[in-house]
Amino acid sequence: MDTNALLAKLHAIDGECRRLQDSMAILQWDQETYLPESGVEERAEQLALLGRIAHERFVCAETAHLLEELGSVTANPGGDEKLPAIERDFLRVTRRDYDREVKLPADFVSEAAKAEGLSTAAWSLAKRNNDFNYFLPHLCTMMELARKRSVYWGYTQNVYDGLLSIYEPGMDAKAVTSVFTPLREQLSVLLKKIASAPQPDRSFLDKKYNTETQALFSAELMKRLGFDLNRGRLDVSAHPFTTSLGCDDVRITTRYFPENLLSGVFSVIHESGHAFYDMAYPAEIRGSCLADGASMGIHESQSRLWENVIGRSRPFWEYFFPVLKNFFPDELRSVTAESFYKAANICGPSLIRVDADEVSYSLHIILRFELEQGLFNGTVKPEDLPKLWRERMKEIVGAEPETDTEGVLQDIHWSMGSFGYFPSYALGNLYGLQFFGSLKKDIPDADAKISAGDFAVIHNWLHENIHKWGRRLDPPDLLKKVTGQNLSVRPFLNYIEEKYSGIYGF
Amino acid sequence: MDTNALLAKLHAIDGECRRLQDSMAILQWDQETYLPESGVEERAEQLALLGRIAHERFVCAETAHLLEELGSVTANPGGDEKLPAIERDFLRVTRRDYDREVKLPADFVSEAAKAEGLSTAAWSLAKRNNDFNYFLPHLCTMMELARKRSVYWGYTQNVYDGLLSIYEPGMDAKAVTSVFTPLREQLSVLLKKIASAPQPDRSFLDKKYNTETQALFSAELMKRLGFDLNRGRLDVSAHPFTTSLGCDDVRITTRYFPENLLSGVFSVIHESGHAFYDMAYPAEIRGSCLADGASMGIHESQSRLWENVIGRSRPFWEYFFPVLKNFFPDELRSVTAESFYKAANICGPSLIRVDADEVSYSLHIILRFELEQGLFNGTVKPEDLPKLWRERMKEIVGAEPETDTEGVLQDIHWSMGSFGYFPSYALGNLYGLQFFGSLKKDIPDADAKISAGDFAVIHNWLHENIHKWGRRLDPPDLLKKVTGQNLSVRPFLNYIEEKYSGIYGF
């Protein structure tokens, strides 16, 4: 069989697996948005079955054979160059995925998918009822499954490194620590300065904002940001998320609190940032394993860039504040764009990660990173998490939750077995500011564009420099290509220091 | 291998197929409710893939082997009696399904599932834009696929009979005609009498009813009818439908028009009737191929019983009118339960089947039955349908639509390839009144229960006599068991004559 025929067969298998994953994404999306309470058990079984089928389809003898045949083509001297670059990338990524996936037994995959469905449902109830013990057995199951997965992959000594590698290829706990240590130090110093400076006025944020009006504003916000509502939608869920049900069906969720206008607004911007990435993969990688983010950290770089660097900037609110004020004319009567901008950037100890300010946000991540490491090296017992959470929150962030709902139960990730995911958010902050440095060089008038509500030039830049690559470039290569640099905390810390010394006047 | 082990293996295959079908139901439900416009093409591909996988899983060599082995057990003298009755039913139904499914090539199944997804989406757009020609190529594709399916099943001479048999096992066009002929005659006579009688007041129905308030009333209506919202939900779609995404996840849809209060209300009751059936299969058949309606006609007997016999009855509105009036106090200020009951039963020529009164409803079906037969015996060309629809509507129902949206494009069925489905609705009317005769004998105070809003006794009776059997009994056997009779138009016509002579006073 010639190379093209072999490739076509491999693409067909990949395509089927992607369609199965998209189908699972639909079932999961529905579970978080519209599933009736009693449907949880059956949904878990449906997901387990589809998970098993997708796994078996991918790691079948045919895939092994195709990869071997294609491997002998590319192993010949000069053989690799015979293939177009995109096919070389496709082969490299497929082989990496295969090598990982083939190590997992089908029963394990199916068991894990089912357990995940039940666990997220239990977490949701436990969070609603502030009942950590109801969730605890599921947490232990998810930990055990995560541990097994990592061991299957060969991480017998450093289980947690195996989990990190799911979200950030090539990154381990040591590498994460080496950036988190200076981050923690310098952010803590900055937060002390901020705490002793006079605070901007935030009285208008304590008003009640009608949630139906918030939803109407969200729709307007998405439209003006450039979210194509023919190719996606916005719904409400307990925890905001983005999911791709297909290349042309990327959905985001948010949640609304009458007493917290900013939470809904910034969740919409954050998730839209994810969606812009997933909506932008070019035709030549559409529907293939390359049509995904380079890593979760790179994905978070997009969401956190939109949420914070763009969404919490002065030019952004110069443009959007009058729009928002049209929706809430009474509540915002005496407020200006400038005072709204400052209030949206108030920093200080807070309980909820997704609503945290940019400065303390990474500290929320560092807390989770430390606890996750402890869970997998045996120094943290799962049953002690609520207590440890309160103690460590007080120490690292400076705030202590009164309930587990606002504490250890606040995030969905552990209930999904996504241990090792959290560092991606803080890495996303770092990547994001490195990318933004290049963007500002290429588009010197970016601020003027933003304050005019013209986001097309930013979309184009992100598309051309980041989105179009999908998984074709690994994070270090992508970063190097776009910025010429390696991962660094400096651009992020410079940005934070400059922005907040401006707001707080020190 | 012993019989129990063989049966366990067959149940495992059946269970997987059901879970795949449930997964497809989720994808289809989402397509009709929340799918963004551009997601249609990919959704069709996802459905095609899952359809193919479900088909291949069912008609695999293992199923053939198990059925053969189990066949030799039951073929021995007395062998059949060794199995519990429920396993005999399971085997009989599985074998029937297998014998049909195995005749369809996997490529055909996948092609049909994909074409259906594209066709329903095209129909939806065509209906919105009153553009029959946009839908026409899809209609032709769906006809061709239906024809092929029927021919695969061996209906080479009478293609339409093969299609009818999907929805009503054992029923053919001749048998349907033999009940539709007296139905048409006597309903037409009755409609003439009604047309010349004085009409009840319906002025209050011409008011505008806020659709958000209608939705709130629907929720209250479902709750009071006994719909368990932990096991299902209500959404909005272009065409009302019921679908099971699992035994504990049965969803209905409706639609709201400000100028047509009754449309939304009776769609909710109709679809709830379907849902009550699908929610009631007992534990011993849950999640198996037996957990479905005996036929579409029997399924429609439940929905139309709830919608009309119960839902358009005087006692029903004695109970529900005060509830409705609380939601629309201004619009219904001077209206009484009695006048609402009469207005909800006004008869006469109308354009839209799902909103038609009980008397003319079957005529809408007879029109479709005639056109469907013509489409498959070659006397009706698909491109002539809009014209023929107008002519035949005028002749049979007495109303002529001005647009195709209100004409040939009004129903989703043909776009799904569901030719032969429509007769089920009229058969459902007949079954329903036969069942209701038995119900009234067993529960002489049924009217008093209904007017007190106590529907439990009716649910229990339907459950005990009809729902609990699922597919274990075929329609003629079920009918005989419950009523002691064969299919007959008499109970329906008697009910219609008595009810409407009361309302119209002749």
Q: Which two tokens stand for residue A326?
A: 């049209």
A50 CB neighbours in chain B (<8 A) are 23
- A506 and B CB contact within 8 Å: no
Residue in chain A lying closest to B43 (CA): A246
- List the alpha helices (DSSP H) in B281-413: 296-304, 314-327, 337-343, 358-377, 385-396
If 0-12 CB within 10 Å is exposed, 13-18 middle and 19+ buried, where does residue A185 land? exposed
pLDDT score at B223: 98
Amino acid at B311: G
Identity of the residue in A16, A49, A245 whose CB atom sits nearest the CB atom of B20: A49
Is 0.90 exceeded by the ipTM?
yes
Summarize the confidence of residues A101-112 as an average pLDDT: 95
Instruction: Give pTM, 2 decimals.
Output: 0.94
Q: Please determine, for residue B283, whether its predicted confidence score (pLDDT) is greater than 80.
A: yes
Summarize the confidence of residues B44-49 as an average pLDDT: 95
Report the percent of chain B where pLDDT is more than 70. 99
Average pLDDT, chain B: 96
Q: Which residue has the tokens 């105070």?
A: B445
Identity of the residue in A42, A229, A287 whose CB atom sits nearest the CB atom of B248: A42
Average pLDDT, chain A: 96
Cβ contact A26–B22 (<8 Å): no
Check if the beta carbon of residue B123 is closer than 8 Å to that of residue B412: yes
Task: Name residues whose C-beta falls within 8 Å of residue A85's C-beta, 6 or more positions apart in sequence.
Answer: none
Helix crossing, A132-152 with A159-167: angle to 10°?
Answer: 90
DSSP, res B307: I
pLDDT score at B170: 85
Cβ contact B248–A23 (<8 Å): no
Summarize the confidence of residues B272-276 as an average pLDDT: 98
Backbone angles phi, psi at A504, to 5 degrees: -95, -5
d(CA A315, CA A443) in angstroms, rounded, equals: 15
pLDDT score at A170: 84
Q: pLDDT, tens digit, for every residue of B63-103?
A: 999 999 998 877 777 776 788 999 999 999 999 999 999 99
Tell me the pLDDT band of B478, cut-offs 50, 70 and 90. very high
Q: pLDDT, tens digit, for every residue of B309-327?
A: 999 999 999 999 999 999 9
Task: Name residues whose C-beta falls within 8 Å of residue B421's C-beta, 6 or more positions apart in sequence.
Answer: B166, B167, B296, B413
Q: pLDDT, tens digit, for every residue of B400-434?
A: 999 999 999 999 999 999 999 999 999 999 999 99
Tell me the pLDDT band of B477, cut-offs 50, 70 and 90. very high
Q: Which residue has the tokens 């368990």?
A: B228
Q: Please determine, for residue A78, whether its predicted confidence score (pLDDT) is greater than 80.
A: no
pLDDT score at A226: 98
Tell me the pLDDT band of A1, cut-offs 50, 70 and 90. confident
If 0-12 CB within 10 Å is exposed, 13-18 middle and 19+ buried, where does residue A95 land? middle
Q: Please determine, for residue A439, whether its predicted confidence score (pLDDT) is greater than 90.
A: yes
Q: Which residue has the tokens 């947490």?
A: A139
Summarize the confidence of residues B286-291 as an average pLDDT: 96
**Residue B251 β-bridge partners:** B233, B243
Cβ contact A22–B42 (<8 Å): yes
Strand locations in B130-215 (E): none
Tell me the pLDDT band of A506, cut-offs 50, 70 and 90. confident
Q: How far is CA B501 from the centre of its chain?
A: 28
A230 CB neighbours in chain B (<8 A) are 36-38
SS (H, E, C) B429-484: HHHHHHHHHHHHHHCCCHHHHHHCCCCHHHHHHHHHHCHHHCCCCCHHHHHHHHHC
- B446 and A CB contact within 8 Å: no
- B271 is a catalytic site residue: yes
How much of chain A is helix, strand and coil, in % rounded to 5?
Answer: 70, 5, 30
Summarize the confidence of residues A65-86 as an average pLDDT: 84
Pick among B20, B28, B42, B55 to test the A interface (most A CBs inside 10 A): B42
Strand locations in B158-292 (E): 232-236, 242-244, 250-254
Q: pLDDT, tens digit, for every residue of A290-341?
A: 999 999 999 999 999 999 999 999 999 999 999 999 999 999 999 999 999 9
d(CA B490, CA B176) in angstroms, rounded, equals: 15
